[in-house]
Amino acid sequence: MNPIEKLGQKAEFLIEVLPYIRSFHGKTIVIKYGGSAMTEEHLKRQFAEDVVLMKFVGMHPIIVHGGGPQISGMMKRLGKEPEFIKGVRVTDPETMAIVEMVLGGSVNKEIVTLINQMGGKGVGLTGKDGGLIRAKALSGQEDSMGHVGEVASIDADILRTLDEGRFIPVISPIAADASGKSYNINADLVAGALASALSAEKLLILTDVRGILDGNKQLLPSLSRTDVQGLIQEGVIGGGMLPKIEAALSTVESGVRKAHIIDGRVPHALLLEIFTDQGVGTEIVA
Amino acid sequence: MNPIEKLGQKAEFLIEVLPYIRSFHGKTIVIKYGGSAMTEEHLKRQFAEDVVLMKFVGMHPIIVHGGGPQISGMMKRLGKEPEFIKGVRVTDPETMAIVEMVLGGSVNKEIVTLINQMGGKGVGLTGKDGGLIRAKALSGQEDSMGHVGEVASIDADILRTLDEGRFIPVISPIAADASGKSYNINADLVAGALASALSAEKLLILTDVRGILDGNKQLLPSLSRTDVQGLIQEGVIGGGMLPKIEAALSTVESGVRKAHIIDGRVPHALLLEIFTDQGVGTEIVA
Amino acid sequence: MNPIEKLGQKAEFLIEVLPYIRSFHGKTIVIKYGGSAMTEEHLKRQFAEDVVLMKFVGMHPIIVHGGGPQISGMMKRLGKEPEFIKGVRVTDPETMAIVEMVLGGSVNKEIVTLINQMGGKGVGLTGKDGGLIRAKALSGQEDSMGHVGEVASIDADILRTLDEGRFIPVISPIAADASGKSYNINADLVAGALASALSAEKLLILTDVRGILDGNKQLLPSLSRTDVQGLIQEGVIGGGMLPKIEAALSTVESGVRKAHIIDGRVPHALLLEIFTDQGVGTEIVA
Amino acid sequence: MNPIEKLGQKAEFLIEVLPYIRSFHGKTIVIKYGGSAMTEEHLKRQFAEDVVLMKFVGMHPIIVHGGGPQISGMMKRLGKEPEFIKGVRVTDPETMAIVEMVLGGSVNKEIVTLINQMGGKGVGLTGKDGGLIRAKALSGQEDSMGHVGEVASIDADILRTLDEGRFIPVISPIAADASGKSYNINADLVAGALASALSAEKLLILTDVRGILDGNKQLLPSLSRTDVQGLIQEGVIGGGMLPKIEAALSTVESGVRKAHIIDGRVPHALLLEIFTDQGVGTEIVA
Amino acid sequence: MNPIEKLGQKAEFLIEVLPYIRSFHGKTIVIKYGGSAMTEEHLKRQFAEDVVLMKFVGMHPIIVHGGGPQISGMMKRLGKEPEFIKGVRVTDPETMAIVEMVLGGSVNKEIVTLINQMGGKGVGLTGKDGGLIRAKALSGQEDSMGHVGEVASIDADILRTLDEGRFIPVISPIAADASGKSYNINADLVAGALASALSAEKLLILTDVRGILDGNKQLLPSLSRTDVQGLIQEGVIGGGMLPKIEAALSTVESGVRKAHIIDGRVPHALLLEIFTDQGVGTEIVA
Amino acid sequence: MNPIEKLGQKAEFLIEVLPYIRSFHGKTIVIKYGGSAMTEEHLKRQFAEDVVLMKFVGMHPIIVHGGGPQISGMMKRLGKEPEFIKGVRVTDPETMAIVEMVLGGSVNKEIVTLINQMGGKGVGLTGKDGGLIRAKALSGQEDSMGHVGEVASIDADILRTLDEGRFIPVISPIAADASGKSYNINADLVAGALASALSAEKLLILTDVRGILDGNKQLLPSLSRTDVQGLIQEGVIGGGMLPKIEAALSTVESGVRKAHIIDGRVPHALLLEIFTDQGVGTEIVA
């Protein structure tokens, strides 16, 4: 392939993405960012590139990030052993303080900085900023883990304001209740709640797996609530995948058109999901 | 290359264009459209795709088209022999009426329709619409060819209005003087005058040659007014290329940052020019 | 009458129009322009004056023009005999190309130029521009006359955009279907469909007759659908008047307050219709 | 003249005013309203009609009214003899209170009501409202007539606000100084000061004379400051005409394009002045 | 208390008002201004201060004033004896003229001037200005008192326009009917009608009593329509208090959240009512 | 003092603040928040109340906070001894990471939460968010302390965007350079730079001292650069006060009207500074 042919091929691909750019123009895409895509250097960089490109071609990407490993790491440095009950971090006041520092002060700003370096204008927020998220204690677990919460309500005013200004919001899953008490909330659930509140076009959850697999390790391209219940009973899915699936299911049931659980280890997974018909994971359908 | 690798390669190319999207965001690009790109089916279609993509990623493309062959064709069908003096069409009143019908009624609307089919919103204009261009007789040639004109002044109000509405203007190089008399104006000069009046970021002139070549048929990547004068004296350039070069030169001299004479026969020439550093023609510099 | 008395009389008349200016302020008036008003020099000029005055005193006039005689004229010059079946022009591809050139390139721009000369800012459009009109083949007649169409849908975005900018839209009754195929549509029906889509205050159809006459050649000041059906059965009305009446009837039935078929041969027929209680034709009522 | 001819004549006159409507579109016209035009029923009504028409065709008329006879009438009813020194009303506190009541409460609202009846939206103001005019004592006369003032400064914010809302301001020539003390100001001078502050297109001063006459009682169509000085020395002009001429002169000298002293006894004097080339008085030129 | 302690105490009070500022932010408060608060110098000044403060901290106060004593005073000076039937002033044409002069020309502008001196931007209006209030004859009393009216309808356009411009409207209870005839309307009823039309947050009626008292002269903090009917039957309330109570009742019944009859003799009665929980009068509840 | 008198006294004080509210309306006030006001519970709460009140009465407060003690505390918990050279914290990469977590994740969000509890809408930012601050290494000290920086440039776009949305920005003094490297910047200097960039009305620096004292421990109400140089030479001022004074001096020299170093230990120090003439510290003058 000579240089001109190569250029031609590149132009062809640009044109292939035109229908996708057209149909997502002005639409909100909520992205749960986590896993390898948040830890491996080249994937981090590609994620930031993807988000900035999405913004420039007219979409409104909104990032919600996790940071479990970073939290556990800091806890250990402070001589505190991370503890989990049914996959949920036991969050006493001291742990909560560490969560806030690590997520809001470190992880969030690292993402903002990467976005800025790619030419975007990231703005880091927690659920506290602008009163974005009001939290409450996670029902049924108030006693054992005082600072594990869930979303009580959302006031998306700050996101709409930032949107007018060409900014890309990056959100840590931390929020306060009416009394000012802080809560750590599962980032998948925060992403789902924001997608619903914003009537987003799409919810994308980045994971470290190829998608949802069946009993034979085959990728399931699409799953409904009924399918999911079957897979849980068969013991095929469980663990950390459950909140992701639940977030996706309740989001599509609230009217968001599409939710996908995608493989964040694939380079430029976001672009492939948005700009091709070949999905890189499993779509969750209402 | 397996499918995933192929996807990855596509994503990589999308990311390569990010810096270009960033730097052209919100900028006006005036495009003189003519030659093969206006007659060969696949090039026509690609041109419309390129323009719509430019609009969707945030640029403001403005098209000025010619149509000499189509005018001559209709003249012959009406039993009228096209005549040229020093490359300029002799334009008596009857010819002028044909020019208006062919350019404004046929060629212009064909381009608009192609843009619409690619998902854009083309709006065809002549210099008369909204009072966009005020014409005057081409100086020095008033007598022999009554309806050959030049740009006297520009009122870009209609272009700004359309721009707010996400429309892509497609302009025929026809305008009237204060008395309402119609003039046919060289499309290269109209494109250059609009680029200057709009403080465009770039003027792109599509041709049917590789660019400006030197005496040894080597492509000249960049040319200044001094260079051009030399080449004219050497007899290397002349004919229809002269108004193109003159339009480009006076445009950059009026403050427009860049003007390029590019090879419209290359597939997706516009995208390659905008989105790569490998130009597909000659840059005219102030 | 001495000069001062004469001035006084003029002032009195200006004041007589105040109630009309008041009640039409900010209202849309769709005008089907055709017949003598489009061919006789002094009527053409007066029409343009009337439209510009309407715009300046706060109305939003929208012009839809025909051009049958001009099309037939050009066809003959090209050695092609115009042919009609039940009053509808047989429109093969070659005829369609001529229709587009004559209406969009010649007739339309002549009207625009006249409006500009009166101090207005005319902007010529076809149904293709800005995707204003989507056409479909005229039902029942697909085979015999491939390019005769009707209005499938209207996207008035471009008209609203132009309206903000103080422009006067001048529309040729040509549109494309989804595949890009061009259609010639009866201008009366286009005017009616636009009046309905825009919730216009009034539809005015200029003709070359005094209005609708009864069997004794007396002007009928007002007609309902029932009246029309009677007159058709009596054979009193028919021919080219039928689409005009049908356009007017379906427009008022869609909620537009008033539709009038008026005598375009009367000097300043538009102003008299708008600014006096003495109509110059027949009102069609729902 | 048959009815159709009569209609035609009316339409012709409407078209004659088009160039005037065009050139005054969006322009501010300050009108000093006084004399017979304010006392004779048919002239009052015509004045209101004229102003409302001006507003509807796109101008911004601003009315400043006087009311000397009405003030003197009320003073007499209250047993107080009006007194003048060099043409200026001696204004003690009690007189000032009467001035405010008569101008702001009675004369102003009568004009507002008339405008409203003609379909306009008049809004009565004094210089106090919205802080429009800051007054100071008339220089050189502080002692003898405590409440005779002049314009110290203008804050036109309230006029601009009303203008956005399609209202017609009607202004009484009363204002306060920084301490809140009220002043009666010559209405001609207030009109002139507002015209200057608003960069009005025109100042029109309605009087009860044909205009400025020369020694032979011939109307002078146009006067400069030099001319005026000559006429004063000759004793041809003086009295109440002086502040009118001074207001007009300083207004045009401040950059307002035109100032006219016109005959308010002529029916529809405003329309004739605005919409014809035959002025009805004397133009004051810079 | 040393100076620093005193400052601290002041700061504490500022903070005490924060919740009130927060909850009234952007809300409309209609205030009926009358009685001692309108006649005693220090109360007048305090009233103006209170209104300007309300405006600066984000509320939209709208003042409706009365002026019975001032009207009667002027009538006597003009040798005309004020006459009342069932508490309503007999208003013949001559009296109406006096009412307009006194309220619109004198009382209104005095309030405007005071507001301006406190740093606000008062704008005086009657119901005629901007067509704010359309009046009709008071039903049942058309014959005896030709110019006593009631509110027929409200067009709040002028109030919304002034609101954008940071102005404080001050309204005289005078309005015209469609024929232009003037009416004097009870100011309490005008205030109530405006509060309803504007969906105000609160109606405050300033009086010269402590509020509504029961048979034992004890202040009633809150009253419903049923309570009121009982008190009327007991003969405890009557006279001028009746229209105030009726205005308040119909206002809250129309959906305005709160209406209060408060003691205008208390210094800064408005601020106390707005900024504390200790009301200074009686709340009327739906 | 009976309850009514007490209310009256409160109202009086509200009115005393009116002139201050008036003159600061719409003005930006940059506040450096630190010291006791950031550590003692009742002072923290009062600070948040003061800021929210300022916002509600129409000012635009912008908070820049420090957090030295909190940083040192966390360092010790992580087994790292804080080290200072000439008062500047030695900031190696590990320390920088701690600074970001403590300031951006913990201290910042605590302030945001307090503001929200008082009814405001705080939004926490670092200099990285929205590209607010571009940092560079502190000149002259690049080697020894890699992550100590200074302000290179400010892009206040994010602050203007938040301002439209009624949000209160709370800023941590952390920023990145073009390569994405993080820097810790002295908060006093950040506050000064923002005040200059925003053309603020005032810069307020909260400290734990009464203000600048002279050699006799007397409060100096006002200081110029010359005065400061003298005091430094005398050895009267030094240490942590120097960057505060330098920030204040360069701010007023850049055109900000006023800068004050105030005693944050005084309850409601902000309100006293803004709303009284009795300052609570030292004014720095240009």
**What is the secondary structure of chain D as a DSSP string?**
--HHHHHHHHHHHHHHHHHHHHHHTT-EEEEEE-GGGGTSHHHHHHHHHHHHHHHHTT-EEEEEE--HHHHHHHHHHTT----EETTEE---HHHHHHHHIIIIIIIHHHHHHHHHHTT--EEEEETTGGG-EEEEEPTT-TTT-TTEEEEEEE-THHHHHHHHTT-EEEEESEEE-TT--EEEE-HHHHHHHHHHHTT-SEEEEEESSSS-B-TTSPBPSEE-HHHHHHHHHTTSS-TTHHHHHHHHHHHHHTT-SEEEEEETTSTTHHHHHHH-SS-SEEEE--
Alpha helices (H) in chain B, listed in sequence order: 3-24, 41-56, 68-77, 93-99, 108-117, 157-164, 187-197, 225-233, 241-253, 269-275
pLDDT (mean) for D139-156: 82
Q: Is F161 on the interface with A (CB under 8 A)?
A: yes
Please report the pLDDT score of residue D142 as a whole number: 56
Question: Would you say residue D134 has pLDDT above 90?
Answer: yes
- Quote the tokens at residue F209: 């001292």
- Quote the tokens at residue D237: 């002009």
Q: Kindly determine whether residue A161 and residue F161, on different chains, have CB atoms separated by under 8 Å.
A: yes
- The CA-based diameter of chain A, rounded to the nearest angstrom, is 68
User: Residue A243 carries which DSSP code?
Assistant: H
Please list every residue in chain F whose beta carbon sits closer than 8 Å to the beta carbon of residue E10. 13, 16, 272, 275-276
Q: Closest Cα partner for F258 from F192, F172, F165? A: F192
Q: Kindly determine whether residue D161 and residue E167, on different chains, have CB atoms separated by under 8 Å.
A: yes
Q: Kindly determine whether residue C56 and residue D22, on different chains, have CB atoms separated by under 8 Å.
A: yes
Please report the pLDDT score of residue F260 as a whole number: 95
Q: Is F21 on the interface with E (CB under 8 A)?
A: yes
Q: Kindly determine whether residue E25 and residue F276, on different chains, have CB atoms separated by under 8 Å.
A: no
Q: Is C184 on the interface with B (CB under 8 A)?
A: no
Q: Is D48 on the interface with E (CB under 8 A)?
A: no
Q: Kindly determine whether residue E131 and residue D108, on different chains, have CB atoms separated by under 8 Å.
A: no
Q: C162 vs chain B: nearest CA distance in angstroms?
A: 7
The H or E element containing residue C20 is: helix C18-24
Of the candidates D11, D16, D52, the beta carbon closest to that of C272 is on D11
Please list every residue in chain A whose beta carbon sits closer than 8 Å to the beta carbon of residue B280. 7
**Which of C13-22, C122-131, E64-73 shows the lowest mean pLDDT across its residues?**
C13-22
- Over its C-alpha atoms, chain A yields an Rg (Å, rounded) of 19
Q: Kindly determine whether residue A19 and residue B119, on different chains, have CB atoms separated by under 8 Å.
A: yes
Q: E56 vs chain D: nearest CA distance in angstroms?
A: 15
Of the candidates F78, F100, F102, the beta carbon closest to that of A77 is on F78
Residue B82: CB atoms within 10 Å: 16
Q: What's the mean pLDDT when you consider all of chain B? A: 91
Please list every residue in chain F whose beta carbon sits closer than 8 Å to the beta carbon of residue A158. 121, 123, 165, 167
Please tell me the distance from the alpha carbon of residue D120 to that of residue A74, in angstroms, as a whole number. 73
Question: Considering the domain boundaries, does residue E1 fall inside one?
Answer: no
pLDDT (mean) for D135-143: 77
Question: Considering the domain boundaries, does residue B5 fall inside one?
Answer: no
Q: At what angle do helices B108-117 and B41-56 cross, to 10 degrees?
A: 60
Q: Is D101 on the interface with C (CB under 8 A)?
A: no
Of the candidates F102, F116, F129, the beta carbon closest to that of A112 is on F129
First-to-last alpha carbon distance for chain E, in angstroms, is: 45
Q: What's the mean pLDDT when you consider all of chain A? A: 91
Of residues E90 and F8, the one with the higher pLDDT is: E90
Which residues are bridge partners to A213 per DSSP?
A219
Please list every residue in chain E whose beta carbon sits closer than 8 Å to the beta carbon of residue D121. 130-131, 157-158
Q: Closest Cα partner for D138 from D146, D128, D127, D150? A: D150
Q: Which domain holds residue B60?
A: 25-284
Q: C208 vs chain D: nearest CA distance in angstroms?
A: 16
Please report the pLDDT score of residue B196 as a whole number: 97
Q: How open is the CA angle A151-A152-A154, to the nearest 5 degrees?
A: 80
Of the candidates E22, E56, E268, the beta carbon closest to that of F21 is on E56
Please report the pLDDT score of residue D9 as a whole number: 80
Q: Is E122 on the interface with D (CB under 8 A)?
A: yes
Backbone angles phi, psi at A152, to 5 degrees: -90, -45
Q: Is D180 on the interface with E (CB under 8 A)?
A: yes
Please report the pLDDT score of residue E142 as a whole number: 56
Please list every residue in chain E whose beta carbon sits closer than 8 Å to the beta carbon of residue D177. none
Please list every residue in chain D whose beta carbon sits closer than 8 Å to the beta carbon of residue C24. none
Q: Is A95 on the interface with F (CB under 8 A)?
A: no
Question: Considering the domain boundaries, does residue A19 fall inside one?
Answer: no
Give the count of domains, chain D: 1
Judge if ipTM > 0.90.
Answer: yes
Q: Is E167 on the interface with D (CB under 8 A)?
A: yes
Please tell me the distance from the alpha carbon of residue A213 to that of residue A215, in angstroms, as a whole number. 7
C to D CB pairs, distance under 8 Å: 111
Question: Would you say residue E114 has pLDDT above 80?
Answer: yes
Question: Considering the domain boundaries, does residue B270 fall inside one?
Answer: yes
Q: Is F129 on the interface with A (CB under 8 A)?
A: yes
- Quote the tokens at residue C69: 């005689």
* Distance set, CA D171 to CA D44, D197, E278 (Å): 16, 15, 43
Please tell me the distance from the alpha carbon of residue B246 to that of residue B228, in angstroms, as a whole number. 9
Q: Kindly determine whether residue C102 and residue B100, on different chains, have CB atoms separated by under 8 Å.
A: no
Of residues C144 and E215, the one with the higher pLDDT is: E215
Q: F279 vs chain E: nearest CA distance in angstroms?
A: 11
Please report the pLDDT score of residue D8 as a whole number: 77
Which chains are adjacent to chain B, needing at least 3 Cβ pairs under 8 Å? A, C
Q: How many helices (H) and strands (E) does chain E have?
A: 11, 14
Of residues B153 and E145, the one with the higher pLDDT is: B153
Q: Kindly determine whether residue D182 and residue E126, on different chains, have CB atoms separated by under 8 Å.
A: no
Q: What share of chain D has pLDDT > 70, as a percent? A: 97
Please report the pLDDT score of residue A145 as a whole number: 67
Q: Kindly determine whether residue E14 and residue F118, on different chains, have CB atoms separated by under 8 Å.
A: no
Please tell me the distance from the alpha carbon of residue D191 to that of residue E283, in angstroms, as a whole number. 48
Contact, B237 vs B245, CB < 8 A?
Answer: yes
Question: Considering the domain boundaries, does residue A198 fall inside one?
Answer: yes
Q: Kindly determine whether residue D278 and residue C7, on different chains, have CB atoms separated by under 8 Å.
A: yes
Return the top range by mean pLDDT from A18-22, A187-191, D34-38.
A187-191
Q: Is A5 on the interface with B (CB under 8 A)?
A: no
Please list every residue in chain E whose beta carbon sits closer than 8 Å to the beta carbon of residue F276. 7, 10
Torsional sign, CA B15, B20, B22, B25: negative
Q: Is C1 on the interface with D (CB under 8 A)?
A: no
pLDDT tens sequence across B178-222: 999 999 999 999 999 999 999 999 999 999 999 999 888 899 999
Question: Considering the domain boundaries, does residue A12 fall inside one?
Answer: no
Please tell me the distance from the alpha carbon of residue D225 to that of residue D231, in angstroms, as a whole number. 10
Q: Is A196 on the interface with F (CB under 8 A)?
A: no
Please report the pLDDT score of residue C5 as a whole number: 75
pLDDT < 50: residue spans in chain F: none
Residue whose entry in the numeric block shows the structure tokens 């009267």:
F236
What CATH code is carried by the domain that includes residue B269? 3.40.1160.10
Question: Considering the domain boundaries, does residue B101 fall inside one?
Answer: yes
Please tell me the distance from the alpha carbon of residue E273 to that of residue E59, in angstroms, as a whole number. 14
Please report the pLDDT score of residue B232 as a whole number: 87
Q: C180 vs chain B: nearest CA distance in angstroms?
A: 6
Q: Is E8 on the interface with F (CB under 8 A)?
A: yes
* Chain D and chain C touch, per 3+ beta carbon pairs within 8 A: yes
Q: What share of chain A has pLDDT > 70, as a percent? A: 97
Q: Kindly determine whether residue F123 and residue A113, on different chains, have CB atoms separated by under 8 Å.
A: no
Torsional sign, CA E47, E53, E56, E57: negative
The three-state secondary structure class of B180 is coil
pLDDT tens sequence across D237-278: 877 888 899 999 999 999 999 999 999 999 899 998 998 877
Q: Is A114 on the interface with F (CB under 8 A)?
A: yes
Q: Read off the pLDDT band of C8 (50, 70, 90).
A: confident
Q: What's the mean pLDDT when you consider all of chain D? A: 91
Q: Kindly determine whether residue E102 and residue D102, on different chains, have CB atoms separated by under 8 Å.
A: no
Contact, E210 vs E168, CB < 8 A?
Answer: no
Q: Is B127 on the interface with C (CB under 8 A)?
A: no
Please report the pLDDT score of residue A103 as a whole number: 97
Q: Is A268 on the interface with F (CB under 8 A)?
A: no
* Chain E and chain D touch, per 3+ beta carbon pairs within 8 A: yes
Which residue in chain D has the smallest CA separation from E107?
Answer: D101
Residue D207: CB atoms within 10 Å: 24
Contact, A121 vs A167, CB < 8 A?
Answer: yes
Task: Label residue C96 exposed, middle or buried (CB < 10 Å: 0-12, 13-18, 19+).
Answer: buried
pLDDT tens sequence across F69-127: 999 999 999 999 999 887 788 899 999 999 999 999 999 999 999 999 999 999 999 99
Please report the pLDDT score of residue F214 as a whole number: 87
Question: Considering the domain boundaries, does residue C15 fall inside one?
Answer: no
Please report the pLDDT score of residue A144 as a whole number: 53
Q: Read off the pLDDT band of C88 (50, 70, 90).
A: confident
- Quote the tokens at residue E64: 């409706």
CA atoms within 13 A on the CB side of D220: 18
Contact, C88 vs C124, CB < 8 A?
Answer: no
Q: Is E108 on the interface with D (CB under 8 A)?
A: yes
Please list every residue in chain D whose beta carbon sits closer than 8 Å to the beta carbon of residue C8. 266-268, 272
Q: Kindly determine whether residue C161 and residue B157, on different chains, have CB atoms separated by under 8 Å.
A: no
Please report the pLDDT score of residue A7 as a whole number: 73
Contact, D158 vs D198, CB < 8 A?
Answer: no
Contact, C264 vs C36, CB < 8 A?
Answer: yes
Please report the pLDDT score of residue F284 as a whole number: 93
B to C CB pairs, distance under 8 Å: 129
Contact, A273 vs A280, CB < 8 A?
Answer: yes
- Over its C-alpha atoms, chain E yields an Rg (Å, rounded) of 19
Q: D221 vs chain C: nearest CA distance in angstroms?
A: 16
The H or E element containing residue E69 is: helix E68-77
Backbone angles phi, psi at F137, to 5 degrees: -60, 140
